[in-house]
Chain A
Amino acid sequence: MLDTILILFAHPSYARSRANRALRTVAESMEQVTLHDLYEAYPNFLIDVEAEQDLLVTHDHIVMMHPFFWYSAPSLVKEWLDVVLDYGWAYGEGGKALAGKTWTQAITTGGPATSYCSDGRNRFSMDELLRPFQATALLCHCVWQPPFVFHASRQASEQTLEEAATRFCDRLKGLTHG
């Protein structure tokens, strides 16, 4: 049996994001993927912790998919991290529920790839900016994967969108085949 992937999808105005729609559509078409739309599930930010933990333990790979708001994620993702990753469950004493699962950030950005370096407008590389997520994943005993990044997604042509979707699809398949 193939490994299963849980995509935690977070976009507050998803209807208007071409890039996220394209990536999401290909991901959803894959059998082993469960796409969980956080803003749709918790429009009032009242997260059902038990349901979320159940979802996590029943999947082998975790993918957090979101736009790169203020060098981080939309606010519901932070709320999710705060309440779902419990002490004694995901980390700390006896907290091994997520041990061994892979953790991937799948991110769309407004700026081009070249702006994410010490000389660029954003001053830091993606790897540097994603350190808080990496640290979180590691504290939860997860296996950190290099992030999937789709840069300059807003201006992307249809061809670029298509390429990005294919690339995302391959990444997901790569996860399940180890």
Chain B
Amino acid sequence: MADAHVLQSAFVYLTATVVSVPIAKRIGLGSVLGYLIAGAVIGPYVLNLVGDPENMMHTAEFGVVIMLFLIGLELQPSLLWRLRIAILGMGGLQVVATATAITGLGIAIGLKWQVAFAIGLTLSLSSTAIVLQSLREKGIAGTQAGRASFSVLLFQDIAIIPMLALFPLLATFALDGNQVGAKGALAAYPNWVQGLAVVLAVGAIVVAGRLLLRPMFRWVATSGMHEILTAFALLLVVGVALLMQLVGISPALGAFVAGVVLADSEFRHQIESDIDPFRGLLLGLFFISVGAGINFALLLAKPLLILGLVAALIVVKAMVMFGVARIFRHKFGDAALIGLGLAQGGEFAFVLFAFAQGVGVIPASVSAPLILVVALSMALTPLLLIAGDWAMTHVEAGTHEPRVPEIEEGHPDIIVAGYGRFGQIVGRMLSAYGYKISVLEHDADQVDVLRGFGRKVNFGDATRLDLLRLAGAHDAKLLIIAIDQDEKALELVETARQAFPNLKILARAIDRRHAFQLMAKKVDGLERETFAAAVRLGVKSLMMMGKSAFAAERAGQIFTRYDERVLKLMFEDWQRVEFADYQRIVRDRTALEEELLKRDMVALLGKSDGDEWGEETLEREAFERALAAKAKSD
């Protein structure tokens, strides 16, 4: 019967997920909100389809553990070192300032200072799970704002340890009977034993990670069975989590440390891809449990109090974080995003509230509404992030674009649109030759990075006519389109052709189809972005196979000439005929041209097989060796 129950729960959870997450994503709310809504719907206060969400929560918290393990895995120690100022400075200041503000408010409404302080510390934490998942989904995890958010979250996760140590000292009421503790199995021992255990456990992870894990992984890998590797990776995370729980550290933090230790091992990518699916599903489960745990009864009983507290929490946390981010010189829009993004309470608040109650700091009457407030604030996060994202892009636009005319007021010879990996190479080459170039880049972060390196880069969308004009398109001779979005590039060709008929246009083509589209718009020249590099690698390959450098070089040139000729012929076909016919024609044409190419290549390099190692060759080599030996002995 128990099996039937598990299957039933699984069915409900999965159905809720499959229905609500795609809907939430499609209307732009992100998967996290989808999970939360699904949880609320199936939870005890709406449909009541699942039992106690607390139980599910415990399983689901493992999703958070896996997530932190994967985060650790992606973090090389060097990156951690580079982020140290953000982690310690921003994170530290945020926790202290937020805790102080909330403690102050608590005392103001008449709580004991100990209670207020414990609440302040607990609520200073934000939700690593929700924020990171949302940032990743929105594609802003790698931006400066994303990095900063991550750093603060990391500090908060570490700060849980001293908080757990501090709470017992704040006890305000006597405990009746047995102590509830998140402190783990060693809670009965004196503090120094516990401290030692933590040090030993972390040390063990570091040492084992360096010395034992590689041989073990190799040994497991020799079984040749993929699922065993997956099982081993999971075992690793579960084991670390258990060990950490035993010594009283949050399992999530322990998993994070283990991840960092393994970050420079050769199995990193293997582990990552093996357990990533578990992360996604379990995190989803976690979000669902949070949603299901929202106590709507309490909300309905005291709606004004609860909603007021939610609003207060979000406002206080957002303002403090915004201020901290500004102190650390983040741009206005970025700071707004970081502030709004980290304004919710965190999943560790549930743990800490339970713990605080257990050690006699916060009475249940106080923590129950607060737990609800945290859950609601978490549910609001995706909406806050949408607002933050909007603030970042729009406030940015407002502060950046007027700078365009200030920077490039000269008259450039050449305009480079798009200054990513491609545009930079062209730009560097041309400025090295002494041409004055003006650069337009639409990615604000990229612009800042480049400016940091001392490059002059204008921020702005090159497809906008007014910006092109400001950049000097009216008297430039050449426009180089190096942006990586194919549609935008085509749009830009059209705009520039119409407005500046004398401007020559060269373009980066993403692929063959894009090349045809650009040719149809009559650009003055184009280069396929991967073609030249691939030919170069082909040349290197021929040399590795023993061909002379000169023959290999020639082969690359012949191949390039062949391919460019074919491209031109195909373009004519492409313009002339329907797609189905085009495919057939290309097939025939390619077959013919490949024959010609083969003939040329063989003429240059000889046949691919038998040439170097034929009988004749071997005889000749033996003869030459004999000659050389004879010359030496003379």
A and B together in one complex: yes
Chain A interface (Cβ < 8 Å from any Cβ of B): 12-16, 18, 21-22, 25-26, 28-30, 39-41, 43-44, 158, 161-162, 165-166, 169
Q: Which of A43, A161, A162 contacts B552 (CB 8 A)?
A: A43
A-B pairs with beta carbons under 8 Å apart, 22 shown? A13-B551, A14-B548, A15-B548, A15-B551, A15-B612, A21-B624, A25-B625, A26-B631, A29-B628, A29-B629, A29-B632, A30-B631, A39-B548, A39-B550, A40-B549, A44-B553, A158-B623, A161-B623, A165-B627, A166-B631, A166-B634, A169-B634
Is B620 part of the binding interface, using a Cβ–Cβ cutoff of 8 Å? yes
Which residues of the other chain, A, contact B627 by a CB distance below 8 angstroms? 22, 25-26, 161-162, 165
Question: Other CB < 8 Å A-B pairs besides A25-B628, A43-B549, 18 of them?
Answer: A12-B550, A13-B548, A13-B551, A18-B620, A21-B620, A22-B627, A25-B625, A28-B628, A29-B628, A30-B631, A39-B548, A39-B549, A40-B548, A41-B549, A43-B552, A161-B623, A162-B627, A166-B634
In the complex, A29 Cα to B627 Cα: how many Å? Answer: 10
In the complex, A160 Cα to B305 Cα: how many Å? Answer: 107
Is B51 part of the binding interface, using a Cβ–Cβ cutoff of 8 Å? no
Is B142 part of the binding interface, using a Cβ–Cβ cutoff of 8 Å? no
A177 to nearest B CB, angstroms? Answer: 13
In the complex, A161 Cα to B623 Cα: how many Å? Answer: 10
Which residues of the other chain, B, contact A16 by a CB distance below 8 angstroms? 606
Chain B 550-588: CB-based contact to A (< 8 A → 1; otherwise 0): 111110000000000000000000000000000000000
Q: What range describes how many residues of B lie at the interface?
A: 20 to 34
Interface secondary structure of B, over-half rule: helix
In the complex, A16 Cα to B627 Cα: how many Å? Answer: 18
Closest to B617 in A: A15
In the complex, A22 Cα to B620 Cα: how many Å? Answer: 9
Closest to B549 in A: A43
A67 to nearest B CB, angstroms? Answer: 14
Decide: B634 and A43 in contact? CB cutoff 8 A.
no
Which residues of the other chain, B, contact A165 by a CB distance below 8 angstroms? 627, 631
Task: Answer whether A169 and B631 are a contact pair too, CB < 8 Å, given A18-B620, A22-B624.
Answer: yes
Closest to B543 in A: A43
B65 to nearest A CB, angstroms? Answer: 55
Which residues of the other chain, B, contact A21 by a CB distance below 8 angstroms? 620, 624
Leading 9 A-B pairs by shortest Cβ distance: A43-B553, A43-B549, A39-B550, A29-B628, A43-B550, A26-B631, A25-B624, A169-B631, A40-B549
In the complex, A162 Cα to B627 Cα: how many Å? Answer: 7
Chain B 592-634: CB-based contact to A (< 8 A → 1; otherwise 0): 0000000000000010000010000000100111011111101
In the complex, A22 Cα to B625 Cα: how many Å? Answer: 9
Which residues of the other chain, B, contact A43 by a CB distance below 8 angstroms? 548-550, 552-554
Which residues of the other chain, B, contact A41 by a CB distance below 8 angstroms? 549
Which residues of the other chain, B, contact A162 by a CB distance below 8 angstroms? 627, 630
Closest to B625 in A: A25
Which residues of the other chain, B, contact A25 by a CB distance below 8 angstroms? 624-625, 627-628
A76 to nearest B CB, angstroms? Answer: 8
In the complex, A137 Cα to B631 Cα: how many Å? Answer: 29
CB-contacts of B65-117 with A (<8 A): none
A10 to nearest B CB, angstroms? Answer: 10
Which residues of the other chain, A, contact B620 by a CB distance below 8 angstroms? 18, 21
A156 to nearest B CB, angstroms? Answer: 12
A19 to nearest B CB, angstroms? Answer: 11
